[in-house]
Amino acid sequence: MEKEIAKLRQQLQEEHRRRELAESAAESSRRQALQDYLQACHSLSLAIQVVTDRSMTTQGDTTKPAGRLFPQRTIPWDSSATQQEEIWNQVSISSDFHSRGVFPSAHQLEYERSLIAPISGEIELRNYERDTVENTVQKLVNAVYDDELLRNQLGLRGTVTFGSHTNLGQTNNSSINESMEQMSISEDNSDDADTVAQKRRKGKISAHDRHHMQSRSPKGPLAIEYKAPHKLSRDEIVTGLDSEIQPERDVINKEGDNFAFTSKSLVAAVITQLFSYMIGKGIQYGYVCTGEVFIFLHISDDPTVVYYSVSVPNIDFQEDDENRFHRSAVAQVFAFIIRALLKEPPPQSWHEKTLTLDIWEVEYINVLKNIPRQFANITLLPLINLNIGGALNARRFERALACSAASAGNTEGNSKSKRGQCKEGGQKTQRPLQSIDDRSFCTQQCLLGLAYGGAMDSECPNSDDHGMEHISRTDFLHLVRSQLAQDRGPEADCRPLYLSGSRGALFKVRLSSHGYTLVAKDVERCDRSLLQRENKLYNRLRTIQGGHIPVCLGLTDLDIPYYYDSGIYVSILLLGWAGQPLLECIDQDNKERLQNKVAIAFTALHRLHVLHHDAELRNIVYELKDRLMIVDFERAEFRGR
């Protein structure tokens, strides 16, 4: 009897163990709520492995600031910690965001941990950050955007994607019909839509140490610079950023052989590398990442000043801190990116101020060679007790154009004029308070009347602002050119549409005095002849404007260049808004009908003896009013008899 009882006890114990194992397995496979997820993500941060044997690490220069724009002042960002925490306070209003088990399971993160490789260079660092920080941050931002309460509370208008600046778009050489036949309707083509076409760049670029976060909204791109931790150590960062840096006063053409000087020189050069890129791209938020340390940067409304904030997540995360999860790498980057997403893009007056920045002319001596082997004795405290004071291709501005901007007069004073007034011929016109972002485009029929002297279109959403009759086309072009030279502030009636091709970029423009709202295709000086060619072809196609192609109001040269995405734009072609890319509008139900419309549009083109020579889906747009149009005639050819 005792043996049987013992056997039963053993069976019960085994069953209990099996049940515990099953429950443990189920628990580890269960999706996690936010706090557990952040805790698990922080464990990945603690698992970082840095190769310290220099014979086993990459040996390139840490940075090369020569030929790059540098900030006049690099200042501790005293308010950053408060601003980071404020983001977490705002997202705390949604119980669903915090309590729902929607984030990857502990089992999935344990698998990620098993893939972590020792960091001996920028490639391993990028992989580590992608797997342990960026993918997680993207999930968090998506979760916030999917939460209607948080989306409205924060005013988010899109999510984010991370990607290398060298991941350039490929030209699809297949025919339109083939493209439409091969396209899977169920696919998400948003990444293709966000891919920027290859551009001609100047300057230096390494494909391995720079990264980019692009928002899927009119706001918030952010730049990231990766530096392997053996090239830029934690001690060097903390020592180099112990106070404000003025490069001309403290670093450039200065000599020193102590650890403090070489650390300051190294950090100033690294910040310059990212700062120069951010200035060229019109980006005000970015960070340098070594895997162990994050240097968060913000270029203020004064672009000669950059603010820095240093975070060392594995030290800042303290168990006795009730907000410890907000100190983790994932939480810090998440809050920083939300802040970037909420930032309006800088106005043209900001870009003009960047022309006062100087270039780091002197070739940089490898600072690492001068750093003493006996490092300073540095004690790092948790972030809560410290001031939280703390890429891509860098393209220099064409300095010659600075003369053009200067000769046009003091535009800063003009940009500060009251938004409620617009001068023309001594008269003042009251401007609406509504932002151009919220303004609808004029109809094609309205712009036909403006371009060729036709009737007013009562269906145009801006008809109340146009007056009793259209102004002349000549006056329109003159007024637009004059306005673009003066209206350069944060509330200017000209905003980028964040749509770029191999040449040029699109802007939304509103003639403030008369309400005409349309598209400006801007090009740089080297592409002006192509824009002239396109304008001539639009004129030849006048009879199908507003039907198969947009209405064209003509070409004008800018008195003062427009700055956007490292480009300096000097000429614009004014066009009616034709719609969204066809790829975003097509589905299984309308596919055949749209194919027929494409054929009709190109037939109309050919009847007027014009060959497009770039008949791709990217050059076909579609309006919800069931109108399809062909755009981009840079390569088109007229074959007259």
For residue 447, the 8-state DSSP code is: H
Residue 573 Ramachandran class (φ > 0 left, ψ -120 to 50 alpha, else beta): beta
pLDDT per residue over 393-404, tens digit each?
Answer: 233 233 333 333
Residue 501, phi then psi, degrees to nearest 5: -120, -160
Distances (CA, A) of 220 to 159, 162, 217: 10, 12, 7
In this model, does residue 406 exceed pLDDT 70? no
Share of the chain above pLDDT 90, in %: 41
Structure tokens at 606: 């050919």
Q: How far is CA 485 from CA 177, 251, 405, 554, in A?
A: 43, 37, 10, 18
| Burial group, residue 220, by CB count within 10 angstroms (0-12, 13-18, 19+) | buried
Q: Which residues of 477-490 are buried (b: 16+ CB within 10 A; e: fewer)?
A: bebbebbbbbbbbe
| Residue type present at position 232 | L
Which domains does the chain carry? Answer: 28-167+211-397 (no CATH), 412-578 (3.30.200.20)
pLDDT of amino acid 80? 94
> In 3D, which of 534, 508, 526, 524 has the Cα closest to residue 619?
534
pLDDT score of 416 more than 70: no
Q: State which amino acid sits at residue 417.
A: S
Check if the beta carbon of residue 575 is closer than 8 Å to that of residue 175.
no
Average pLDDT of span 341-369: 79
Measured CA to CA, the distance from residue 579 to residue 570 in angstroms comes to 25
Give CA separation, 179 vs 197, 578, 581, 627, 635, in Å: 18, 21, 14, 20, 20
Q: Can you tell me the distance from the alpha carbon of 419 to that of 493, in angstroms, rounded to the nearest whole number?
A: 10
Q: Which one, of 396, 407, 357, 438, lies nearest residue 568 by Cα?
A: 396
- Site of tokens 């072009």: 477
Report the chain's mean pLDDT, rounded to a whole number.
78
**Paired tokens of 354:** 């960047």
Say what the pLDDT of residue 343 is. 86
User: For residues 343 and 220, is the Cβ–Cβ distance under 8 A?
Assistant: yes
Compute the average pLDDT of residues 530-558.
94
Average pLDDT over residues 50-60: 71
CA dist 541 and 606 (Å) reads 10
Q: Which of 575, 587, 574 is closest to 624 using CA atoms?
A: 587
Q: How many helices (H) does the chain have, and how many strands (E)?
A: 23, 21
In SS3 terms, 353-365 reads as HHHHCCEECCCCC
Per-residue pLDDT band for 485 (boundaries 50, 70, 90) equals very high
For β-strands 73-76 and 160-163, DSSP reports them as: unpaired
Nearest CA to 273 among 216, 199, 209? 209
Q: What is the pLDDT of residues 112-164, one digit of tens each?
A: 877 788 888 888 999 888 888 898 899 899 999 999 999 998 888 777 777 66
Is residue 618 pLDDT above 60, yes or no?
A: yes
pLDDT over 70 percentage in the chain: 76
User: Please, what's the b/e burial string for 233-243 (b: 16 or more CB within 10 A of its CB; e: otherwise)?
Assistant: bbbbbbbbbbe
Bridge partners (DSSP) of residue 424 are 427
